[in-house]
Structure 1
Amino acid sequence: MVQVIPSFGGWIAYALALLHPEKVAGIITSNVLFMPPGAFTDQFVFPEGFYISRWQKPGRAEADFGRFDVKTVVRNIYTMFSQSEVPTAGENEEIMDLVKPSTPLPSWITEEEIETYGTLYEKNGFRRALQVPYRAMHTVGSEVQDPKIKVPTLVILGEKDYVMKLPGMEKYIRSGAVKKYVPNHETIYVPNGSHFVHEQFPDHVNQLILAFLDRNKHLAVV
C-alpha cells in the first residue's frame, strides 16, 4: 500500500509504517517529514506561544476556538497557515487572535470551500483533529526501539511554507539528517508553495505523485 496523505496526516502514515511495516510500501505526504519520537521536545524547541505548544494543552484550543463560529475558525486556519511566518501568539494573545477579520483568503480557496469544510467540523467538532496529531505526536512510535521508515518516502514541500522556519527544520531537511531515520527519502520543493501546497497547486502536486509512483512501479498502490 502506498499512502498519499497531506500535512499532519503524515504522522498517521509514519506510525503505521513503524508499527506494521509489512503493510506499507511507500508514503507520500506534503509539509511533514518523519521525526523520531520526542523530537519536538528534544531536538526542536518552540516558544510557549507557538500554535502546536498551545494546541497540545487540553482545553486551550477549545476555549480559543469557542469564541468564534466554526466557519470563522476554519477560515482563520487557512489564512494563517498560508502565510510564511510561524504562527506564534504573544503572552496576552490566543492563536485565533493572529488573524484579523479583514484579512482576505488566499486566492486559491473560495468562501464556498470554507463553508463546506466548516459544515464538516460543525458535525464532528475539532476534538479529533486536535488529538491527532498535536496531542499524540510525542507517543507516535515511541515503543519502537529503532524508529526508521524503510519504505520509499516523498515529501512535497512549499518553499514558502512556514514549516521551513521552524527552529532547526531547514537544517534537518537540507543537511540530509532526515535520512538517518528515512534512508529512502526524497523532498521536492514547490516554488511559491504554502503549507497547503496540495490545494494551492493541485495539478502540479498530482504530477509529482504520479512521477513518484512511476519511479516505484514495483509498489502496490491502494
Structure 2
Amino acid sequence: MDQIQHKFVHVGSLKLHVADIGTGPNVVVFLHGFPEIWYSWRHQMIALASAGFRAIAPDYRGYGLSDPPPEPEKASFKVITSDLLRILDALGLAKVFLVAKDYGARPAFLLALEHPGRILGVISLGVPYFPPAPPQFHKYLPEGFYISRWKQPGRAEADFGRFDTKTVLKNIYILFSRSEIPIAEENQEIMDLVDPSTPPPPWFSEEDLAAYAALYEKSGFPNALQVPYRSLGEEYNIADPTTKVAILAVMGGKDYFLKFPGIEDLIKSGKLKEFAPNSEITFIPEGTHFVQEQFPEQVNQLILHFLHKQLKLE
C-alpha cells in the first residue's frame, strides 16, 4: 500500500484525486461504485503493478479526496464520464483498459460507446453490459427498495444522519453483502435493516472500515447520493447502443443484483450479446456484491487473463 502514489489532476476548478501505482506501458483505470472509493481496488492495483501494469484509481468528484463540485445537484454520469476523459488527457493516456464496479460500469460503458478508440477493453464487476438508459427496476419492487428510498432528496440524509460515518458504511457493507435485495418496510429506514450487533463480513477488516470512514468523513455522502442514485434517470440519446469493445463481466453467484426483476433470466438468455457481441460473463459462485474485496486473488487472475488475452489481439 505504501507504494501507491497519490496525486491530483485539475479538471476545471476542481482537483480530482488519483491513486497510481506501477510503471508498465499498459494502463488499467479502476472505476469505483458506492459505497466504494479508490481504496476498494487496493488488492487489484498492487497485483497488477506486480504483473507489469500501471494501475490508476480516481475518486469521482465529491468522493473521498477529490474536491466537491460547486453545485452537487448538477453532478451526473455524463459529468463523471467527462471528468474521466480529462483525467486520461491530463495523464497523457491515449488508450487504457477499464475495470469498473457496479454503477462505475456506466461511465465505463459510455466511454466504450463514445470513445472506443481509447478503450482497449472493459471488465465490469457486478453488472454486465447494458445499453445506458434509465433503469426500470423501481416499477417492479416495493416502495422500500433501497434505490427508490435513496433517490428521494433528504431521505437517506436523515437516515444516515442518525449514525456516525463508520456505522453507515459498516451497515451498507453488511446489507450489500447479502444475497437479498435491501428492502425496508413502509415505516422502516434502510439503516434499520441491520441489527447493531451484526459484524461486518469477515473479509472486511476493521482497518478497511477505518480507511473507508476516513475518506467519507472528508467527503460526506451528498455527492455519493447524487451519483448514482439521483442521476439514474439520465437520458443519453445514443444512436447505436452496440459496442464492439471486449467486455468481461465478473458476477458473484450470490450477488443480490441477480434478484433484481428479470436480471438472471436476461443474463442466462444470452440476449445481452446483441448489444455487446464481444462480451463474456463469468461467475464466482460464492461471490457477493463486493467480489473484488471478498475474493481478490480469483478476481485478479480473471483480470490478468483478460488483459493478456486482449494485448495478444492488439
TM-score by shorter chain over 0.5? yes
Greater fraction strand: 2
Residue number in structure 2 paired with 1:207? 301
Residue number in structure 2 paired with 1:85? 180
Q: For 2:260 and 2:303, how far apart are their aligned partners in 1?
A: 25
Secondary structure of 1:189's partner?
A: strand
The answer as to whether partners of 1:44 and 1:168 remain within 8 angstroms in 2 is: no
Cα separation, partners in 2 of 1:148 and 1:8, compared to 1, 3 Å:
same
Residue number in structure 2 paired with 1:187? 281
The answer as to whether partners of 2:109 and 2:132 remain within 8 angstroms in 1 is: no
Q: For 1:36 and 1:69, how far apart are their aligned partners in 2?
A: 37
Please report how far the alpha carbon of residue 184 of structure 1 lies from its aligned counterpart in structure 2 after TM superposition: 1.3
Please report how far the alpha carbon of residue 81 of structure 1 lies from its aligned counterpart in structure 2 after TM superposition: 0.5
The answer as to whether partners of 2:137 and 2:260 remain within 8 angstroms in 1 is: no
The answer to whether the aligner puts 1:35 opposite 2:127 as a matched pair is no
Residue number in structure 2 paired with 1:118? 213
Residue number in structure 1 paired with 2:195? 100
Q: Aligned partner of 1:101: which letter?
A: P
The answer as to whether partners of 2:126 and 2:289 remain within 8 angstroms in 1 is: yes
Please report how far the alpha carbon of residue 39 of structure 1 lies from its aligned counterpart in structure 2 after TM superposition: 5.1
Secondary structure of 2:136's partner?
A: helix
By relative contact order (CA 8 Å, sep 6+), the higher-ranking structure is 1
The answer to whether the aligner puts 1:25 opposite 2:120 as a matched pair is yes
Deviates more, 1:60-69 or 1:125-134: 125-134
Residue number in structure 2 paired with 1:153? 247
TM-score, length of structure 1 as denominator length? 0.92
1:11 to 95, 102, 106: 106
Please report how far the alpha carbon of residue 203 of structure 1 lies from its aligned counterpart in structure 2 after TM superposition: 0.8
Secondary structure of 1:216's partner?
A: helix
The answer as to whether partners of 2:179 and 2:256 remain within 8 angstroms in 1 is: yes
- Deviation by residue 1:94-128 (Cα, 9 ceiling, x = unmatched): 11111110111111111221111011000011122
Please report how far the alpha carbon of residue 31 of structure 1 lies from its aligned counterpart in structure 2 after TM superposition: 0.2
Please report how far the alpha carbon of residue 8 of structure 1 lies from its aligned counterpart in structure 2 after TM superposition: 1.8
Cα separation, partners in 2 of 1:219 and 1:12, compared to 1, 3 Å:
farther
Superposition RMSD on alpha carbons, in Å?
Answer: 1.9
TM-score, length of structure 2 as denominator length? 0.66
How many positions carry a matched residue from both structures? 219
Q: Aligned partner of 1:168: which letter?
A: G
Structure 1 unaligned spans of 5+? none
Task: Point out 4+ residue stretches in structure 1 off by more than 6 angstroms.
Answer: none
Q: For 1:211 and 1:101, how far apart are their aligned partners in 2?
A: 41
Structure 2 unaligned spans of 5+? 1-95
The answer as to whether partners of 1:83 and 1:162 remain within 8 angstroms in 2 is: yes
The answer to whether the aligner puts 1:217 opposite 2:311 as a matched pair is yes
Secondary structure of 2:135's partner?
A: helix
Secondary structure of 1:132's partner?
A: helix
The answer as to whether partners of 1:158 and 1:192 remain within 8 angstroms in 2 is: yes
Please report how far the alpha carbon of residue 157 of structure 1 lies from its aligned counterpart in structure 2 after TM superposition: 0.6
Q: Aligned partner of 1:55: which letter?
A: W
Secondary structure of 1:133's partner?
A: helix
Cα separation, partners in 2 of 1:219 and 1:4, compared to 1, 3 Å:
farther
Secondary structure of 2:198's partner?
A: coil
Cα separation, partners in 2 of 1:219 and 1:129, compared to 1, 3 Å:
farther
Give percent identity, aligned residues only.
52
The answer as to whether partners of 2:178 and 2:255 remain within 8 angstroms in 1 is: yes
Q: For 1:2 and 1:219, how far apart are their aligned partners in 2?
A: 14
Please report how far the alpha carbon of residue 145 of structure 1 lies from its aligned counterpart in structure 2 after TM superposition: 1.7
The answer as to whether partners of 1:25 and 1:219 remain within 8 angstroms in 2 is: no
Secondary structure of 2:240's partner?
A: coil
